[in-house]
């Protein structure tokens, strides 16, 4: 796609033609011959006036009144006004299908909120059938999610990372609440992918789209309506979609813009100002709340906003010539569960209303369409905007687009995902700007708070309630170095942990980590399935290590740990009290591309670790351990997957009790207690066919395994076996799980957990 030079607007063209006629355009045959001054009689004053007017219009263009339909045509110019309404506004796609069935030719479009998004796509050349395919392919549960793509988060940042229930930013010693309840990252990404090409082709002038287009936003500062006719197409549409509190406002120029539906949810008057003589309005506005819906504080707040917005809309309200109101009942603006049904309702309402309108059909039919343009050209520059503490070099390294190189949409989208996956930004979006015959790629970022306070909560039948409080600096020195201080408490143990992680994220090169821990572990001890009590191991140690990554999913670590461990005396457990010196050399290789930490639907995780206690440095015990454990999830259909786990551990020499392997139910050995079996050697595996039903995971699990004191004792004939059935569900507070199981000896067990694990 060749980047366009600015063409004269309507009106400018008339003056330029007049100037050519008066003076003779170079290279064009006029009355006096090619390239010669015209001999047609004309006053010099008129020529000077035409030249000055044309120049002023090019430099200072007057507010554009888009041409809307053929001038002096046999039919009136037809405009389309599309309302907001969130999910309800997807019904516009069905109405557009009905219009094309009728052979209607739309000459201009005005939209607000979701109507602006649908209108921009249609004005850019997307056919209704393409729009239907696009909206049905979107995972609407994730499009507004803050969740980062786990497989792109550097593995050092997600290895054993427990997500918090609540996270609050800290700036200048004060708590800072999030700028919105939902994330706009995936929405920005989607709009750029779909609209960047048409926006560049039009030169950011909405009159030059295949169908002239306007959208409405609201100035958050003044509350006034803003009608946008030019600018970055994707970004201006995003501004009109900014539902207050739900999505962050969009800064454009010196204004902060939010949802256009607040002031003019059905911009009929804008379509008329564009020149439409016949206006079709499609109204998918949400119905007023029922009295029972505003009996609590939240409901009252929503009702106040709704009443004020409807009153503000009345100031701009104009009657349309044709009003189409799809029968959407009381469907919520956030209910995307039946996209096909919404579109079908719009199609039915459109057919019924348009059957009574004769002026729409044209002999030529609807607008001819070519392929929707995509950005093309050479990226001459990559500019980073919006960073305050994060170094621009880190953003460029994560983006991975080096100039000069040809623009590739897939490469830019992958790079954008990597930037967001660093966790350093509340949102980030990319823009493509024309720079002569090349492109300037602009990476915009809105930084997340550098410091956060985080809270995690959980429960299981073994340790009861548990929780943690975590303070974290996400960008200590500007290259993403992360410092963490955490306090952890539960019946199974508690203490303090501090960590400094210098993994350099995508900047390349080896990284490091430093961890200090003061932790009191209290695991349960069993004999023949009977609980004896809780042991107690008090650990105070310091670990320093080096690490290297191969992409986001492979990590190699080498560390050295030194400290002390106290084994406390507990009556009846058979564990002797002792104070031990810990000097441990450890190494690990980890591969992890699971798509979710707790409830994955695809991917593999494999961990290989080796430990060697160093008597030469003063360690109390002389022992070694080799441990391999893994998890794999294979999706067979959209609703059915198979999950498998295994663990294999070997150890030798003087292995202390606190370094023994521990296994149990429900993940590996259903039917026995969690971490019931302790031993120097371990082997266990499980498989769980899982059905996904309405957000629940129904699983049937079978497992086998055991522990042994020595290598020579390992035998498959002695494996314990068990089976269980249960469900898991993701909630706002973490995964919820319940499972009932029976072991090979007839023992039964029930497991229940909620929150972080």
**Assigned domain for 39 exists:** no
Structurally, the chain folds into a number of domains equal to: 3
Per-residue buried b or exposed e for 599-613, using 16+ beta carbons within 10 Å of the residue's own CB: bbbebbbbbbbebbb
Q: What is the pLDDT of residue 297?
A: 64
Q: What is the pLDDT of residue 47?
A: 40
Question: In terms of domains, do 399 and 510 share one?
Answer: no
pLDDT at position 491 is: 93
Q: Do residues 315 and 247 both lie within one domain?
A: yes
Instruction: Write the CATH number for 497.
Output: 2.40.160.50
> 296 an active-site residue?
no
List Cβ neighbours of 529 (8 Å cut-off, separation of 6 or more): 672, 673, 676, 747
Closest CA to 458 of 717, 124, 757, 681: 757
Catalytic option among 259, 269, 463, 503: 259
First to last CA, the chain: 52
CA dihedral of residues 296, 300, 303, 309 (deg, nearest 10): -150
| CATH number, domain containing residue 418 | 3.10.20.310
Q: Distance (Å, rounded) from C-alpha 223 to C-alpha 409? A: 36
Q: Which residues of the chain have pLDDT under 50?
A: 1-66
Q: Are residues 387 and 246 part of one domain?
A: no
At 362 the pLDDT is 55
Residue 650 CA to residue 611 CA, distance in Å, equals 11
Q: How far apart are CA 161 and CA 159, in angstroms?
A: 5
In a domain, 110, yes or no: yes
Question: Which two structure tokens, joined as six digits, stand for 627?
Answer: 């441990």
The rounded distance, in Å, linking the Cα atoms of 685 and 591 is 19
Q: How many CB atoms lie within 10 A of CB 547?
A: 22
CATH number at 350 reads 3.40.1090.10
Backbone torsions φ then ψ of 185, nearest 5 degrees: -60, -55
Q: Are residues 475 and 580 in the same domain?
A: yes
Active site residue 205: no
Q: Are residues 542 and 404 in the same domain?
A: no
One domain, residues 554 and 642:
yes
Domain boundary among 410, 425, 447: 447
Q: Could you say which of 83, 107, 113, 549 is catalytic? A: 113
Residue 14 placed within a domain? no
Could you tell me the CA-to-CA distances from 289 to 324, 333, 400, 451, 589 in Å, in that order? Answer: 21, 12, 48, 39, 56
User: What token pair was written down for 334?
Assistant: 């956030």
Give the residue from 545, 546, 585, 578 showing the smallest Cα distance to 564: 578
Examine the fold and report which residue of 324, 359, 394 is the final residue of a domain before the chain moves on.
Answer: 359
Predicted TM-score of the model (pTM)? 0.81
Q: What is the pLDDT of residues 462-502, one digit of tens each?
A: 999 999 999 999 988 888 889 999 999 999 999 999 999 98
Look at residue 614 and give its three-state secondary structure.
coil
Per the structure, the complete domain to which residue 253 belongs is given by 78-145+216-359
Residues 505 and 527 in one domain: yes
């Amino acid at each position: 796609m060749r980047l366009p030079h600015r063409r004269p607007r309507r009106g400018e063209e008339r003056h330029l033609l007049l100037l050519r006629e008066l003076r003779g355009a170079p290279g064009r045959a006029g009355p006096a011959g090619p390239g010669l001054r015209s001999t047609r009689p004309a006053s010099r004053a008129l020529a000077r006036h035409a030249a000055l007017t044309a120049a002023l219009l090019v430099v200072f263009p007057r507010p554009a009144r888009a041409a809307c339909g053929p001038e002096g045509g046999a039919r009136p110019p037809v405009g389309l006004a599309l309302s907001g309404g969130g999910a309800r506004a997807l019904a516009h796609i069905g109405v557009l299908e009905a219009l094309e069935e009728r052979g209607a030719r739309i000459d201009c479009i005005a939209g607000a909120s979701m109507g602006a998004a649908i209108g921009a796509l249609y004005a850019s050349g997307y056919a209704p059938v393409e729009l239907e395919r696009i909206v049905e392919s979107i995972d609407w549960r994730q499009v507004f999610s803050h969740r980062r793509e786990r497989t792109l988060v550097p593995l050092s940042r997600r290895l054993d990372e427990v997500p918090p229930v609540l996270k609050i930013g800290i700036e200048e010693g004060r708590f800072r609440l999030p700028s919105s309840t939902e994330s706009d990252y995936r929405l920005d990404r989607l709009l750029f992918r779909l609209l960047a090409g048409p926006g560049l082709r039009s030169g950011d002038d909405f009159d030059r789209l295949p169908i002239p287009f306007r959208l409405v936003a609201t100035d958050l500062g003044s509350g006034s309506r803003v009608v946008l006719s030019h600018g970055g197409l994707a970004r201006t549409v995003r501004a009109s979609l900014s539902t207050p509190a739900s999505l962050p406002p969009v800064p454009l120029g010196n204004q902060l813009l939010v949802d256009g539906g607040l002031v003019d949810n059905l911009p009929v008057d804008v379509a008329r100002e564009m020149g439409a003589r016949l206006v079709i309005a499609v109204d998918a506005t949400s119905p007023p709340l029922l009295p029972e819906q505003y009996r609590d504080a939240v409901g009252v707040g929503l009702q106040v906003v709704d009443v004020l917005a409807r009153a503000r809309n009345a100031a701009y309200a104009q009657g349309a010539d044709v009003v189409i109101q799809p029968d959407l009942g009381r469907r919520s603006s956030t209910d995307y569960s039946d996209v096909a049904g919404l579109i079908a309702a719009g199609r039915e309402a459109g057919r019924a209303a348009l059957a009574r309108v004769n002026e729409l059909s044209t002999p030529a039919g609807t607008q001819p369409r070519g392929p929707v343009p995509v950005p093309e050209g050479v990226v001459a520059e990559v500019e980073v905007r919006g960073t305050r503490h994060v170094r621009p070099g880190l953003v460029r390294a994560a983006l991975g687009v080096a100039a000069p190189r040809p623009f590739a949409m897939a490469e830019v989208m992958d790079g954008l995902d990597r930037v967001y996956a660093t966790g350093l930004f509340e949102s980030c979006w990319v823009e493509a700007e024309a720079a002569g015959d090349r492109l300037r790629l602009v990476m915009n970022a809105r930084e997340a708070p550098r410091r956060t306070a985080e809270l995690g909560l959980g429960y299981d039948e073994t340790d009861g309630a548990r929780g943690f409080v975590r303070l974290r600096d996400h960008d200590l020195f500007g290259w993403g170095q992360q410092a963490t201080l955490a306090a952890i408490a539960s019946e199974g143990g508690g203490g303090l942990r501090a960590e400094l992680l210098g993994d350099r994220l995508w900047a390349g090169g080896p990284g490091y980590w430093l961890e200090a821990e003061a932790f009191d572990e209290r695991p349960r001890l069993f004999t023949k399935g009977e609980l004896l009590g809780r042991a107690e191991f008090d650990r105070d140690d310091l670990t320093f290590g080096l690490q290297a990554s191969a992409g986001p999913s492979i990590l190699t670590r080498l560390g050295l740990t030194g400290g002390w461990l106290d084994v406390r005396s507990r009556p009846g457990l058979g564990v002797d009290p002792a104070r031990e010196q810990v000097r441990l050399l450890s190494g690990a290789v980890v591969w992890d591309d699971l798509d979710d930490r707790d409830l994955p639907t695809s991917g593999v995780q494999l961990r290989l670790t080796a430990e060697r206690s160093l008597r030469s440095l003063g360690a109390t015990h002389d022992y070694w351990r080799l441990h391999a454990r893994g998890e794999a999830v294979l999706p067979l259909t959209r609703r059915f997957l198979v999950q498998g786990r295994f663990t294999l551990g070997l150890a030798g020499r003087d292995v202390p009790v606190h370094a023994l392997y521990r296994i149990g139910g429900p993940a590996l050995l259903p039917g026995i207690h969690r971490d019931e079996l302790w031993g120097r050697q371990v082997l266990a595996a499980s498989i769980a066919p899982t059905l996904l039903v309405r957000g629940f995971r129904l699983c049937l699990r079978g497992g086998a395994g055991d522990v042994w004191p020595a290598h020579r004792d390992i035998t498959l004939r002695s494996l314990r076996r068990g089976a269980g059935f249960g469900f898991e569900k993701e909630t706002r507070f973490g995964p919820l799980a319940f499972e009932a199981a029976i072991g090979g000896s007839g023992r039964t067990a029930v497991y229940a957990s909620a929150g972080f694990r």
